[in-house]
């Protein structure tokens, strides 16, 4: 596994990461890491590599865009001093363009998204041993769908930033696409965005594969 024993692994993102994690820091007992993919990663790492004793912290926050991450980056990432950091952001950056089309002040346009993400990663990469960047996703098999197409564009920006800064890139959308060949989107995420347990397992599996835990 790429994550060394006794590493501290911090996850940051939006509601897909949050999943009712504890405040102010999502770490500890009684579901503190939330009910989503982060909890599955914690459980599987503990079961498969118990001797590694990887410390998992969930700093997801519902409704966040990349601009919200920027505002809390110091306290919720840098001050926690992670050995590894996982970032998944972008769903709300895209979604607000479609569900609130007239409230343009809530939209994060592609140039702002790419620039802000690059700034955060450039600031953080020298301080961590490993960085994982997961593409945002939309659980919709029709690639011509307007929101799916825009989400793919933002995922491409994540890929570019990851390549620039020597980070692991996870094509989360591709992971969902594989399952969507066999299951309807409604069986994975009722609103095409917030996954059920199957959807969270898809994300967790993609993450674990990327860090060298074959699933």
Catalytic residue ranges: 15, 191, 194
Among the listed residues 75, 59, 128, 67, the one whose alpha carbon sits nearest the alpha carbon of residue 96: 67
Sign of CA dihedral 36, 49, 174, 152: positive
What interhelical angle do 66-76 and 110-124 show, nearest 10? Answer: 20
């Amino acid at each position: 596994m790429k994550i060394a024993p006794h590493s501290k692994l911090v996850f940051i993102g939006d509601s897909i990461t949050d999943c009712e994690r504890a405040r102010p820091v999502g770490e500890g007992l009684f579901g503190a890491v939330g009910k989503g993919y982060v909890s599955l990663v914690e459980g599987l790492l503990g079961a498969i590599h118990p001797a590694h004793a990887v410390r998992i912290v969930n700093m997801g926050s519902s409704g966040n865009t990349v601009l919200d991450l920027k505002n809390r980056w110091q306290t919720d990432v840098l001050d926690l001093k992670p050995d590894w950091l996982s970032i998944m952001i972008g769903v709300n950056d895209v979604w607000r363009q479609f569900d609130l089309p007239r409230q343009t002040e809530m939209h994060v346009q592609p140039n702002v998204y790419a620039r802000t993400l690059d700034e955060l990663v450039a600031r953080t990469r020298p301080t961590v041993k490993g960085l994982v960047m997961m593409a945002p996703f939309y659980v919709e098999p029709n690639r011509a769908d307007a929101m799916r197409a825009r989400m793919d564009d933002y995922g491409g920006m994540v890929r570019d930033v990851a390549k620039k800064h020597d980070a692991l890139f996870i094509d989360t959308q591709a992971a969902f696409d594989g399952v969507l060949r066999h299951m309807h989107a409604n069986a994975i995420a009722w609103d095409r965005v917030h996954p059920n347990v199957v959807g969270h397992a898809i994300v967790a599996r993609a993450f674990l594969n990327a860090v060298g835990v074959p699933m």
